[in-house]
Amino acid sequence: MADLYGHLPRGPAGVLRAAKWSMLGLRAAWLHESSFRLEVCLFAVLGPVGWYLGATGVERVLLIGSCLLVLAMELMNSSMEAVIERYGSEHHELAGRAKDMGSAAVFVLMMNVVLVWAVLLGPRVLHG
C-alpha cells in the first residue's frame, strides 16, 4: 500500500538500504562527534549495569532505554549542527539559539537518566 506521498512499500531491499544509511550515520557521528563517542562509552558501561541491576524487564527497559534516548538526541543535535554549519560558520543569533536548544535537549535527557536511575535504584542502595 502506498503512503500519503505515493511511495511504494520499501520491501526487504529498501529496509536494507535504510539500515546501511543508519550505519553510515552512526559511523559519521563516531568519527566527528566527541560527545557522541563519550556517550557511547558511558552506555557501554551503563547498559550492562542496567541489565544486571534491573529487577524486572520493565526496569531494564527504563534503565537502558533512558540511556539510548540520550544517544538518539545527540544524533539529532549533531545533525542539526551540521546543517547549520553547512550554511556558514559566521555567528547568527538564530543559529546559536538552535544549537543551544539542541544541546539543552540532550541535557534534559541526561537529567532523565539521572532521575530514572535514582528512582529505580536509589531505594535499593539506601535500604540495602
Active-site annotation, residues: 74
Q: Name 33's Cβ contacts closer than 8 Å, sequence gap at least 6.
A: 74, 78
CA distance linking residue 33 with residue 36, whole number of Å = 5
Burial class (CB in 10 A: 0-12, 13-18, 19+), 99: middle
**Do 120 and 63 meet the contact criterion of CB atoms below 8 Å apart?**
yes
**Do 10 and 18 meet the contact criterion of CB atoms below 8 Å apart?**
yes
